[in-house]
């Protein structure tokens, strides 16, 4: 942990500010990716209501979506180990596990949808929605923690 007298020195203060900026940037990118994915799917469903078009888009974009979230959460986890907030350690670790689970669920959902296993696909889909919602809420909480409570 960084003590108050060490944190007041210029190089340490600069490092803390840079780590806070990087964490804020990662949380913001994560929220942007989630909202972008929601917008893509809502506009695509409005223009192309057939299920074949939806499956083609979902197969391409969900892997990229959860892959980007996994990379961002790996960076967030590594940055959180350099910071003094245990809350950010917790958010980084749990968000990494959720993003990894989301990436694992994509091939499972594709397998279940190709085999017409409706209940298993619905369960996997609900878990992926939970993961996306959790990642969005944890990003908002992480931004709030960094921007309003870290220096308090």
In eight-state DSSP terms, residue 85 is -
Cα Rg of the chain, angstroms: 19
**The pLDDT of residue 53:** 65
Average pLDDT over residues 44-70: 78
CB 76 within 8 A of CB 99: no
User: Mean pLDDT across the chain, nearest whole number?
Assistant: 83
Q: How confident is the model at residue 146 (pLDDT cuts 50, 70, 90)?
A: confident
**The pLDDT of residue 140:** 92
- The mean-pLDDT minimum among 9-13, 58-62, 85-89, 123-127 falls in 9-13
The tens digit of pLDDT for each residue in 1-54 reads 555 555 556 777 778 788 888 888 999 999 999 999 888 877 877 777 666 666
**The pLDDT of residue 3:** 55
**The pLDDT of residue 73:** 92
Residue 125: other Cβ atoms inside 10 A: 15
Query: For 36-44, which contacts have Cβ atoms below 8 Å and span 24 or more sequence positions?
Result: 37/61, 37/65, 37/132
Percent of the chain with pLDDT over 90: 31
Please state, in angstroms and rounded to a whole number, the distance separating the CA atoms of residues 55 and 25: 32
Query: What's phi and psi for 139, nearest 5 deg?
Result: -65, -40
Q: Which two tokens stand for residue 35?
A: 């909202």
Task: Look up tokens 């909480």; give the residue.
Answer: 141
């Amino acid at each position: 942990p960084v003590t108050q007298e060490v944190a007041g020195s210029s190089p340490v203060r600069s490092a803390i500010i840079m780590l806070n900026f990087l964490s804020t940037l990662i949380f913001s990118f994560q929220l942007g990716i989630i909202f972008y994915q929601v917008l893509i799917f809502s506009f695509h469903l409005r223009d192309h209501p057939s299920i074949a078009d939806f499956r083609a888009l979902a197969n391409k974009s969900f892997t990229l979506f959860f892959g980007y979230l996994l990379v961002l959460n790996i960076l967030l986890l590594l940055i959180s180990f350099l910071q003094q907030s245990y809350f950010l350690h917790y958010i980084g670790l749990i968000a990494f596990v959720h993003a990894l689970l989301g990436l694992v669920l994509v091939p499972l959902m594709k397998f279940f949808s190709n085999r017409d296993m409706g209940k298993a696909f619905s369960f996997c889909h609900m878990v992926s929605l939970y993961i996306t919602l959790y990642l969005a809420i944890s990003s908002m909480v992480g931004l709030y923690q960094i921007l309003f409570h870290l220096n308090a």
